[in-house]
Each structure stands twice: as structure tokens, then as C-alpha cells.
């Protein structure tokens, strides 16, 4: 088995491609060891000590290392854990886990005004068809969280979370795209 790696715009994050489907549907972001308890693979990666984030995409795993850690020291251990996991065909999640959720329920969310249903549908379609595929190429994901009085609220995950260029992506890319196609959008914010 060969696991390819790719750099991401976030220097703390590498994207690992095992050459097979990781998540059949959705994504899953683990920002803490406690969140990672739902997955034996995420737990093993956090147990390395230098890992500060794990993200499962459709056909990749993004791993973020803590400040002060060096990829040349951590990468062989990450590859070994991934290789062992996939060659043994171990489950991605523990039985009864929250595998289907891309955003934990306790996070801040906004109730969309039913009067804005058409606008929200346009925003979600643009995010799903134009934004998410591009962001997935960089090892992350962006999830719609709400629309309120012209403002679109998004949650950045994986390599996008904490990336130095995420603000530029949000303002110069996503905001401009949404404002162009949906004139009711005045601003995009990350939450």
C-alpha cells in the first residue's frame, strides 16, 4: 500500500491520500484528543503527542501538528499509523460513534429566516459546488453555519482551520464569489 502526501497552504498541515475512500459521506474534524475518542485512527494520531488536529475527507486525512513540532520528525509516525490502520482494514469509528456528523451539534449555529430560504439555497449550492471541492483539494472543508442580515457564517475545518491564508480565502475568494452570484450577501465570516 502506498500513501501519498501533499502539502497544503497551511504549513502545519499535511494531506495524506491512502488511495481509497476514507469517508463515504460527509467529513469529520477532530480538534482535540477528547473529540478523537470517536475514532481509533484519530486517537492513535493524537497519541503521537505532536498532533493538534485530524480531519477526515472523502479520500484523504489531513493532519495538523502543534507549534514547535517538525514534519520531518512526525511524518514517519503518521504514515506508519495510517498504513497499519488501512492495511488491517480497521473501522474508522467506534461502534455507536458520531461518524455522520461533519459539525458537532453543540457548536454555534444560526436559525435561518424562512423568508431567506431561496437565498440560503443559492448560498449552499455555491458552497457545495464551487467552494468545497476547491477547499478539499487543500485538505480542508468549509461548512455553512447560517445567514443573517446579509452575513454568511461558515466554519473552516481541516487544513483551513488556522491556516495563515484562510482569511484571504474567505474574503478574496468565497466572499467575492457569493456577493457576485447572491447580491443579498454583504459579508462572509468564519465562526
Q: What is the pLDDT along the chain (191 residues), one digit of tens a residue?
A: 789 999 888 889 999 999 999 998 888 999 999 999 999 999 999 999 999 999 998 899 999 999 999 999 999 999 999 999 999 999 889 876 444 444 344 445 567 888 888 999 999 999 888 888 878 777 778 888 899 889 989 888 877 776 667 777 777 788 888 999 999 999 988 88
Q: Which of 50, 49, 53 is nearest to 70 (CA)?
A: 50
Is there a contact between 182 and 122 (Cβ–Cβ < 8 Å)? yes
pTM recorded for the entire structure: 0.72
Give 69's contacts (C-beta < 8 A, 6+ positions apart). 50
Q: What is the maximum alpha-carbon separation in the chain?
A: 53
d(CA 7, CA 9): 7
The per-residue b/e assignment along 162-187, b for 16 or more CB within 10 angstroms, e otherwise, is bbeebeebbeebbbebbbeebebbee
Amino acid at each position: 500500500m502506498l500513501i501519498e502526501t501533499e502539502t497544503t497552504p497551511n504549513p502545519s498541515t499535511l494531506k495524506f491520500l491512502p488511495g481509497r475512500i476514507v469517508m463515504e459521506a460527509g467529513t469529520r474534524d477532530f480538534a482535540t484528543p477528547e473529540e478523537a475518542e470517536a475514532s481509533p485512527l484519530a486517537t492513535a494520531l493524537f497519541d503521537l503527542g505532536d498532533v493538534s488536529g485530524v480531519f477526515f475527507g472523502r479520500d484523504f486525512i489531513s493532519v495538523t501538528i502543534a507549534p514547535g513540532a517538525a514534519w520531518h520528525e512526525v511524518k514517519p509516525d503518521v504514515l506508519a499509523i495510517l498504513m497499519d490502520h488501512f492495511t488491517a482494514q480497521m473501522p474508522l469509528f467506534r461502534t455507536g460513534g458520531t461518524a455522520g456528523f461533519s459539525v458537532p451539534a453543540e457548536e454555534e449555529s444560526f436559525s435561518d429566516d424562512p423568508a431567506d430560504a431561496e437565498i440560503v439555497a443559492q448560498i449552499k449550492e455555491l458552497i457545495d459546488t464551487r467552494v468545497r471541492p476547491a477547499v478539499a483539494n487543500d485538505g480542508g472543508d468549509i461548512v455553512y453555519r447560517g445567514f443573517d442580515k446579509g452575513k454568511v457564517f461558515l466554519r473552516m475545518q481541516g487544513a483551513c482551520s488556522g491556516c495563515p491564508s484562510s482569511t484571504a480565502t474567505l474574503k478574496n475568494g468565497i466572499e467575492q464569489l457569493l456577493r457576485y452570484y447572491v447580491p443579498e450577501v454583504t459579508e462572509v465570516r468564519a465562526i
